[in-house]
A and B are shown apart, each in its own frame.
Chain A
Amino acid sequence: MSIAKISVPSQARRGELVEIRIAIQHPMETGFRMDNMGKVIPKNTVSNLLCRYNGADVFRAEMGSGIAANPYLQFYIVAQDSGDVAFSWVDDRGEKGSASSKITVVV
């Protein structure tokens, strides 16, 4: 289970654009590096990340070795109803992670 920091505003007005940020602690191993024994370290990146807002998919990212270590993403969603902004991701080794935060929508 990897660690992530997410930033979701706790309150927003209905229809407002809110900025979402996520940074996952992950080496994003490229698969081109070698360890000190000269053995290739297998590629391991957060290949799939999904952001769901109140159960609906709003944002998805497939990331490869071209994304820097500790992947950081910043994007927007439209505040509709109070609820959860939930992230889930999986890396090439099958390790899963998740994080979520509540957003309260005031009219």
Chain B
Amino acid sequence: MKTPADPISHMNQRARRRVLKSIAGGALLPLTLPAALPAFAQMPVARPPLEQLVPVMKQITNGAPVRESRVKLEIPHLAENGHLVPLTVSVDSPMTAADHVTTLYLLSEKNPRPIIAKIGMSPGTGRAALTTRIRLAGAQHVVALAQMSDGSFWAASADVIVTETACLDASEIT
């Protein structure tokens, strides 16, 4: 999966505090500042995106590895209206009886129901491509996960900023 462009904003709280503390300690004595630098080097890797989706994906894949590259997900990076976001998924597959996409999942990181849609395809589909319109409750990652006839899983994710969110969750209604 893609790592976020700004790792600092995704850094977990404890690590941030540790880093801040080491900076605060060093700030008093400028000479010790270089000592604080390794703290940055050891900074934990940014929060893996799609953390919330890991259990959902695990349930679908049954623990099988998910690889990237064969799935292409086209979705606007900035969506004005979360009630209607156009999306196109295509999977690089010959769609023959021996090698085709059997199921295509559209997953959302923040919607109250993470599985947006489950699409069944067959060799008769000819081309593994789908265009639809989805709802998104806030800025988030959207994942397209494809299961092939040989049982392998391929996925792609995209980051979407939603200005006007779709009120999918009751907690958002005040």
Closest chain B CB from A78 CB (angstroms): 4
Q: CB of B152 within 8 A of chain A? A: no
CB of B135 within 8 A of CB of A66, answer yes
Report which of B124, B131, B136, B173 forms a contact with A53, defined as CB distance below 8 A: B124
CB of B125 within 8 A of CB of A75, answer yes
Q: CB of A3 within 8 A of chain B? A: no
CB of B119 within 8 A of CB of A59, answer yes
Contacts of B170 in A (CB 8 A): 32, 34, 40
Residue of B nearest to A75 (CB): B130
Q: When chains A and B are docked, how far (Å) is the Cα of A17 from the Cα of B128?
A: 11
Q: When chains A and B are docked, how far (Å) is the Cα of A66 from the Cα of B118?
A: 11
Q: CB of A73 within 8 A of chain B? A: yes
Q: CB of A97 within 8 A of chain B? A: no
CB of A57 within 8 A of CB of B122, answer yes
Interface size on B, residues (CB 8 A): 34
Q: When chains A and B are docked, how far (Å) is the Cα of A53 from the Cα of B118?
A: 20
Q: When chains A and B are docked, how far (Å) is the Cα of A77 from the Cα of B127?
A: 7
Question: Main SS of chain A's interface residues?
Answer: strand
Q: When chains A and B are docked, how far (Å) is the Cα of A80 from the Cα of B85?
A: 33
**Binary flags per residue of B107-140, CB closer than 8 Å to A gives 1, else 0:** 0100111011111111111110111111110000
Q: CB of B167 within 8 A of chain A? A: yes
Residue of B nearest to A72 (CB): B133
Q: When chains A and B are docked, how far (Å) is the Cα of A32 from the Cα of B168?
A: 6
Using A33-B167, A66-B108, A66-B135 as known contacts, say yes or no to A61 and B125 having CB atoms under 8 A apart. Answer: no
Binding site for B on A (CB under 8 A): 17, 30, 32-34, 40, 53, 56-69, 71-78, 80
Give the top 4 A-B pairs by smallest Cβ distance, nearest first.
A66-B116, A60-B120, A78-B126, A58-B124
For the complex with contacts A64-B117, A71-B132, 18 further pairs of A-B residues with Cβ separation under 8 Å are A17-B126, A30-B135, A32-B170, A33-B167, A40-B170, A56-B124, A57-B120, A57-B122, A61-B119, A62-B119, A62-B120, A63-B116, A65-B135, A66-B106, A66-B111, A67-B116, A76-B126, A78-B126
